[in-house]
Structure 1
Amino acid sequence: MIGCANTENSEHIYNVLDHAGVQYRSDIGIHSSHMGYSMIAMNLAVGVIEPFGAGLWRVNGVVTRPFEPSVEYF
């Protein structure tokens, strides 16, 4: 799974998942959602990424699904 590379957002996601009892391992850290969406479109990864750019990537085969526990963006 890809995740944010050592940012405040990555710590927030880890805390939300840990609080919900979800085991999470990120093998790849990204610095931009564009890179994450590119990797997902090429079937190289799955990820928890900001939802704002998702619509632009759907034509490239990216599929979005509701995610629980809810991760609020700030």
Structure 2
Amino acid sequence: MAVTFVIGNMNQLNSVSLFEAANSITSALANEFAEAGAGLHQAALMYLGLVLFFITFVVLSLSKVLLAQMKKSEGKKS
């Protein structure tokens, strides 16, 4: 929740500035899922969860590949 307060917790789509108030995917899920009614709002939040899972999966997969490459080249002279 600290990240939610620091970044401003504001839903806006008209700016891509890193210095304006915003909302993260995780905070949107945490704040809105309890009040979401069945239908489009709940489906959109489920989609956000899927997007967050995909981003996490890609980052972790890339880190595993990077660590495997580093382990393979460990001890070799450059």
Band of TM-score, shorter chain: under 0.3
Larger Rg: 2
TM-score w.r.t. the length of structure 2 is 0.22
**Structure 1 or 2: more helix by fraction:** 2
Question: Quick check: which one's strand share is greater?
Answer: 1
> Which of structures 1 and 2 has the larger relative contact order (alpha carbons within 8 angstroms, sep 6+)?
1
* TM-score between the two structures when normalised by the length of structure 1: 0.22
